[in-house]
Structure 1
């Protein structure tokens, strides 16, 4: 599949990072949030806050990209661009939702008539274009995609469950079900926030955090992210040292999901490894780039949304799209350590990854899509047997926040990408094997460790919270964490990785 070779703006790393200063509420950013009081209870001798009625309205749209399958290669660039425009439409609709609280308080139909109805029409126009582009390129577009045009407003404490699809939620998006968008609004009708943690943005809230002592050991129930390796099969490991983004390479692009689209992610990423990462980087650009990895044969790109401490710091992107203008505010926190490791298969040998293989794991839209593709694990050092996916951990003093993701490691044997950027890869089954004729490749495991002072949670309030950057409508929920990888190892190094793993050795 061809890649756009057009280059664009100077990387954000060249901007000067402003000194610590209070981020002004306003300035074009997403500044609305309103949280009801939370109940505070004692649990097992440890304080724990539960939301009594957290009602932050957001925009919930079916994820069209995950439903698309048959897209000819020559149409993928256009389709990805249309899907990125859909993301921008949702961002714009959420901004309108977040800045019209007074109008909503005075008109129960405002959200449906003024936000959701027009949004549905704009989405339908894009879906029509996507269908036309697929058919024109020789594919066969799904005639039912129109059913995904409608969105709804809903309270933030009602996450969709399972499936990775919104199903019926998208079917009623005709502008008449906007009542949910009224919940949790401005109770005084004056457009002022009553309880936004003092930072002026929607999320995270107290109920997004949990004391690590309140997490039961070995209780995480994740359908994804299984470790591929074990006592049998190929037991070796290969560790690549690529630093923690000392070069300050940040941008809000997504080369995999939105190639050729500036600010395609609507949130800022950390990058390690390849140093030519933006939406306009071609495979040739990646192959010719410098790398932060100690082994210069590894020019792979590893990237993830940044964590921020919402402490009032005005970062370099405080006024930018992807940053403060889209609700991602505060001090960017680099990991103290980034462990990047490849492991083997419990069922036998692994085969080499193809060069330029693209893998997305986790789901940046899990809050509205549901948890079917959620694949992050949050914990604290010293408590690694306690893992959570949908909460940020409150770690004791001296303990680091841990953020771990195990990637899909079953490859279809043919494609470096797929129309929805998922179907060419799969997770191992419970026994560690690959289904449907897929082949086992080295499993990428990334473990990030952060030095973060534990936020204070009192009376349903969280002070100085940390949070993952997110699409605005995803409200900084921990379940939206995700990670991206493009394999740009040279052939000799990839063969070395495979041989090391299959021999059962630990290499770097």
Structure 2
């Protein structure tokens, strides 16, 4: 497979992380995040399984980007760049965590003194710069952002509950060495790295679809806007399944102008000029994989990989194997992209270049407040899970489905945290005051994947979503991104079709 090869600038922060990650790759073998290797070592005849299980498995940092609100337009580029640098700092610290297991075993303060402490200082310096950039541009920076500088360590099986504290559970900072002892950590025996050299997925990340109760998924997010009333039509756009092999690890919405801003590889359909340096003009002038050439929108999501030892094109690259995203990239057998209406009335046109992120790539550490992942199997669509990968019976496809936010603030095509300008419908299908209904984007991806084997607490040949390294390939981190680049005539056609109650394509 190939990738987007557009010439790009490389920020200093990215170069620093690239150098650090290069130390973790040698001779084609990945030693990026072998968390549990020490869990089965014997030293002096003493099995170390339990003490290794108590080690910190990942780094949990408050998500500064989601807390930022008042950022003047002329400061957003600088702020987004600073936030991307913070992501790179976490990646670098995570690499340090993953490759110093022996030192940690011999020094209970190692994680705090050599990883978390210095990371807090570096994050504090960036937060100070963000505050300065906001204030210089005429905004009013939150004076409390400094409280988000500190990170904590915790075990792989302890998920942040609810996402309300931004990663600072109980208002305190974990001292590093107690990650698996004081937070619901469990003995990790059997939860190894599956022989892949990466931490995740593990056996506990999978569930037999037959064991999922029908209609049990929490639907706080991702509510379908369409229903029996209101605007009942739909518009389907066929954009293929990335036959052109357009991949990169950028994120044009969250980290514009930053190479490898996502730290994981994305699949792209629709617009063919997707990288961190694409301007709105570039998007408007680009080719599209959509059959309707009036739809130059960009639809993208993290790739799924089968961890079967395949050396992909990005096996030694940032965003790929150098950051723990390894194995065969799996293209969907089908990518259904559909726009639907509102249960409460007509929809209005989306503005051109509207940007929408749904789900949260950092849900494992942020909590599930913005999680919007939905996994299932064909033939079992009434059984949906957010925090597990499904084990599907033979002949059944793995399904990833998502319903985007469909309430727009009527003014902005983006917002400082890339979320506030859009909202989900309320329980009755209506939009909150000040928001208006736009066509709801629904994406359904179907994959032909052999079910992994789970035996004795281990999973073999697992599949997993690409993720930020510290997110451990958890299924709850799945997310989708969309930039509307439909021409005005097509968008009006979409709106008219939906409001008339017709099904169009």
Asked whether the 8 Å contact 1:102–1:189 carries over to 2, the reply is no
Asked whether the 8 Å contact 2:192–2:202 carries over to 1, the reply is no
Asked whether the 8 Å contact 1:56–1:183 carries over to 2, the reply is no
Unmatched 5+ stretches in structure 2: none
What CA distance in whole angstroms lies between the structure 1 residues aligned with 2:13 and 2:33?
30
User: CA distance change for structure 1 residues 50 and 109 in 2, over 3 Å: closer, same or farther?
Assistant: closer
What CA distance in whole angstroms lies between the structure 2 residues aligned with 1:154 and 1:36?
14
Alignment of 1:322-333 (within 5 A): 322-333=319-330
**Alignment-derived partner of residue 364 in structure 2:** 367
What CA distance in whole angstroms lies between the structure 2 residues aligned with 1:164 and 1:22?
33
Asked whether the 8 Å contact 1:304–1:484 carries over to 2, the reply is yes
Alignment of 1:121-160 (within 5 A): 121-158=121-158, 160=159
What CA distance in whole angstroms lies between the structure 2 residues aligned with 1:338 and 1:505?
21
User: CA distance change for structure 1 residues 11 and 140 in 2, over 3 Å: closer, same or farther?
Assistant: closer
**Deviation per residue, 1:440-488 (Å, 9 max, x gap):** 0000000000000000000000000000000000000000000000000
User: CA distance change for structure 1 residues 166 and 415 in 2, over 3 Å: closer, same or farther?
Assistant: same
User: CA distance change for structure 1 residues 235 and 348 in 2, over 3 Å: closer, same or farther?
Assistant: same
**Deviation per residue, 1:324-381 (Å, 9 max, x gap):** 0000000000000000000000000000000000000000000000001000110000
Asked whether the 8 Å contact 1:401–1:450 carries over to 2, the reply is yes
Asked whether the 8 Å contact 2:66–2:417 carries over to 1, the reply is yes
Query: What is the RMSD of the two structures over their aligned residues, measured on CA atoms?
Result: 6.9
Asked whether the 8 Å contact 1:237–1:504 carries over to 2, the reply is yes
User: CA distance change for structure 1 residues 305 and 54 in 2, over 3 Å: closer, same or farther?
Assistant: farther
* Cα deviation, residue 222, structure 1: 2.5
SS at match of 1:17: helix
What CA distance in whole angstroms lies between the structure 1 residues aligned with 2:107 and 2:45?
46
User: CA distance change for structure 1 residues 46 and 307 in 2, over 3 Å: closer, same or farther?
Assistant: farther
Asked whether the 8 Å contact 1:252–1:264 carries over to 2, the reply is yes
Report the more deviating stretch, 53-62 or 76-85.
Answer: 53-62
TM-score, scaled to structure 1: 0.88
* Cα deviation, residue 437, structure 1: 1.7
Report the more deviating stretch, 46-55 or 433-442.
Answer: 46-55
**Deviation per residue, 1:404-437 (Å, 9 max, x gap):** 0100000000000000000000000010000022
TM-score, scaled to structure 2: 0.89
User: CA distance change for structure 1 residues 19 and 297 in 2, over 3 Å: closer, same or farther?
Assistant: farther
Asked whether the 8 Å contact 2:266–2:302 carries over to 1, the reply is yes
Asked whether the 8 Å contact 2:340–2:440 carries over to 1, the reply is yes
* Cα deviation, residue 195, structure 1: 2.9
Unmatched 5+ stretches in structure 1: none
SS at match of 1:52: helix
Asked whether the 8 Å contact 1:23–1:314 carries over to 2, the reply is no
Asked whether the 8 Å contact 2:162–2:367 carries over to 1, the reply is yes
User: CA distance change for structure 1 residues 11 and 347 in 2, over 3 Å: closer, same or farther?
Assistant: farther
What CA distance in whole angstroms lies between the structure 1 residues aligned with 2:74 and 2:2?
8
2:475 aligned with 1:474: no
* Cα deviation, residue 31, structure 1: 2.8
**Alignment-derived partner of residue 185 in structure 1:** 184
Asked whether the 8 Å contact 1:415–1:424 carries over to 2, the reply is yes
* Cα deviation, residue 37, structure 1: 13
User: CA distance change for structure 1 residues 467 and 16 in 2, over 3 Å: closer, same or farther?
Assistant: farther
* Cα deviation, residue 387, structure 1: 0.3
* Cα deviation, residue 172, structure 1: 2.0
**Deviation per residue, 1:182-234 (Å, 9 max, x gap):** 9999999999xx93211110000000000000000111112100000000000
What CA distance in whole angstroms lies between the structure 2 residues aligned with 1:243 and 1:46?
55
* Cα deviation, residue 166, structure 1: 3.2
What CA distance in whole angstroms lies between the structure 1 residues aligned with 2:222 and 2:44?
29
**Alignment-derived partner of residue 280 in structure 2:** 283
* Cα deviation, residue 21, structure 1: 21
Asked whether the 8 Å contact 2:166–2:366 carries over to 1, the reply is no
Asked whether the 8 Å contact 1:96–1:115 carries over to 2, the reply is yes
Corresponding residue pairs, total: 503
**Deviation per residue, 1:92-133 (Å, 9 max, x gap):** 000000000111111110000000000000000000000000
